[in-house]
Structure 1
Amino acid sequence: MVDRELLLQTAAALRHARRILIITGAGLSADSGLPTYRGVGGLYNAKTADGLPIEMALSGPMLRRDPALCWKYIAELGRACLGAQPNAAHYAIAQLQRLKPECWVLTQNVDGYHRAAGSPPERLIEIHGQLAPLFCQSCGAVDPELSEHLQRPLPPLCKHCHGVLRPPVVLFEEMLPERALETLYEEMAKGFDAVLSIGTTASFPYIHEPVLRTRVSGGFTAEINPTPTDHSAGMDVFLGCRALEVMEELVSHI
């Protein structure tokens, strides 16, 4: 049962805020049917079918050493993402961005659902990249046919030079996209009046730092998650539920 007093408190804070940051993780897209990496319904709660930790199988070094094995797990993610679509919470976030021209989204998700739901790309920071379009590691040619390649033998190869294709996603042991990081820190330097964290444990420093900075500067912080995380107790508001249950109503009060 959602605590309505806390929901209305969050709505009021967002209504009065000018600069807002929405942080989203796998829990947001779980309501679209996508599995999270870990926890309930986790895609990789233990070792993979190949007996490897997912951090090794789905890594940059593995893509170079054994492209077919790495692509086996990239393809799992790809099929899951292509087999689902944005949910009402994604659309509510996009609506909030329309209402608040200085509302940004920082997402760990690579499914592209924020874009599909209408979030403006210029205020969307996809810190872990996205699954499409593919590009060739050898010649750099772009290939938009992710879904077609998932029906063919893996790894997918470039039409021009037969090099191995890959998605512009951050695999384990790879660096974050430089431009996305620059944008995040540029916006953090300007400060946020409110930060709303949705469906993430915020375990990475670059995800939790905006929350800490906003809290220190006197801004409002809130979290939406079915179960508390390590950071829940420090938030101004914790809503113990799924985003799908509250986001539409939350935005309706703004």
Structure 2
Amino acid sequence: MSSGETSARNGSRQPLVAVLSGAGISTDSGIPDYRGPNGLWRRDPEAEKLVTYEYYMSDPEIRRRSWQMRRNSPALRAQPNPAHRAVAELERSGVPVRVITQNVDGLHQLAGLPPRKVLELHGTARAVMCTRCTARSEMAEALGRVAAGEDDPPCRECGGILKSATVMFGERLDPDVLAQAMAIAQACQIFIAVGTSLQVQPAASLAGLAAEHGARLIIMNAEPTPYDDVADEVVREPIGTALPALLERLLP
């Protein structure tokens, strides 16, 4: 057991635990991953166009297909699984926890984590935004318009093109969110990368940044990652059972 884990148990200064979560943490909730052996991008490379900014903005047919994809997406119907709930339970126990997620499903918040403690690197699929005036509204409202017959609903404020409030291929990450994520990686004592291939930058570099600043690096993923060699612990067990067991060791 590390010194950070010991301090969490004996009631003295508790370690800051950072959790970087990827698609693998949500597969038990019925949301398929994208880059795994059976991932969406491998099964249907054309699907990438539906979430690529250039194609989306220039082609009304791509937008119509994108709205139908959102209507049928399991992400908005999914519920948190034991892995999400274990992270929320650790936070409720009093251990300082920050989640940096590559997911857009909002399941960490649904599991009970305060939204201010979740950094969504790639945005959220639960909201839409106007590409012209940046007005935001609920995804459910936009999907209701699609269901009522609007194939490509425009912004109610200015008539601009609406898109999911996610970071599409070809868009930059929010620099403020990324800066906060980097600060957390540098400050934490324990950094757990769970369900992520650690291949997509700049998110993947957070694992290395945490290790460079002295954090205990734990990687939990079904497939090897580029950062396994610098990790203190690598876990290949199913996330739904392995993450709750790991986090139980950190409970005060």
Normalising by structure 2, report the TM-score. Answer: 0.84
Residues 1:211 and 1:102: Cα distance change in structure 2 (over 3 Å): same
Which residue in 2 is equivalent to 1:119? 113
Provide runs of 4+ in structure 1 moved above 6 Å. Answer: 8-11
Q: 2:67 touches 2:152 (CA, 8 Å); kept in 1?
A: no
| Stretches of structure 2 lacking an aligned partner (at least 5 in a row) | none
Contact 2:28-2:81 at 8 Å conserved across structures:
yes
Q: What corresponds to 1:157 in structure 2?
A: 154
Superposition map of 1:243-254 within 5 A: 243-253=239-249, 254=251
Q: Which residue of 2 aligns with 1:220?
A: 216
Q: Give distance in 2, aligned partners of 1:173 and 1:44.
A: 16
> Secondary structure of 1:31's match?
helix
- Across the two proteins, how many residue pairs are aligned to each other? 242
Whether the 8 Å contact between 2:24 and 2:221 is mirrored in structure 1 is yes
- Cα deviation for residue 53 of structure 1 reads 6.6
- Tell whether 2:135 aligns with 1:167: no
CA–CA separation in structure 1 for the residues paired with 2:70 and 2:100? 20
Question: Is 2:91 aligned against 1:94?
Answer: no
Residues in 2 aligned to 1:113 and 1:180: alpha-carbon distance in whole angstroms? 18
Q: Equivalent residue for 2:194?
A: 198
Verify the 8 A CA contact 1:22 1:195 in the aligned structure 2: yes
The whole-number CA distance in structure 2 between the counterparts of 1:71 and 1:182 is: 34
For the residue of structure 1 that corresponds to 2:90, the secondary structure is helix
Q: Distance in 1 between matches of 2:229 and 2:115?
A: 32
Work out whether residues 223 and 239 of structure 1, in 8 Å CA contact, stay in contact via their aligned partners in 2. Answer: yes
Deviations 1:130-184 (A, max 9, x none): 0122122334443321442453443222334433211211000101012211212
> SS of the residue aligned with 1:183?
helix
Q: Which moved more, 1:142-151 or 1:200-209?
A: 142-151
Q: What aligned pairs does 1:17-166 form with structure 2 within 5 A after superposition?
A: 18-48=15-45, 52=46, 54=48, 56-73=49-66, 75-77=68-70, 79-144=73-138, 145-151=141-147, 152-166=149-163
Per the TM alignment, residue 15 of structure 1 is displaced from its structure 2 partner at its CA by 3.8
- Provide the rounded CA distance (Å) in 1 between the counterparts of 2:208 and 2:145: 42
- For residues 117-141 of structure 1, the C-alpha deviation after alignment (integer angstroms, 9 at most, x for no partner) is 1112112110000012212233444
Aligned partner of 1:109: which letter?
A: N
Deviates more, 1:139-148 or 1:102-111: 139-148
Q: Whole-Å Cα distance in 1 between the matches of residues 136 and 210 of structure 2?
A: 39
Offset, 1:244: 0.4
Instruction: State whether residues 137 and 164 of structure 1, in contact with CA within 8 Å, keep that contact through their aligned partners in structure 2.
Output: yes
AA in 2 matched with 1:62: Y
Deviations 1:41-85 (A, max 9, x none): 31121554xxx471x442111121014314524642562212322
In structure 2, what residue type is equivalent to 1:236? D
| RMSD (CA atoms) | 2.7
> Unmatched 5+ residue regions in structure 1?
1-7
Q: Which amino acid aligns with 2:156?
A: K
Q: Could you say which structure has the greater relative contact order, defined with CA pairs below 8 angstroms and 6 or more residues apart?
A: 1
From the superposition, tell whether residues 107 and 134 of structure 1 become closer, same or farther in structure 2 (CA, over 3 Å). same
The separation in 1 between residues aligned to 2:233 and 2:143, in whole angstroms, is 40
- Cα deviation, residue 36, structure 1: 0.8
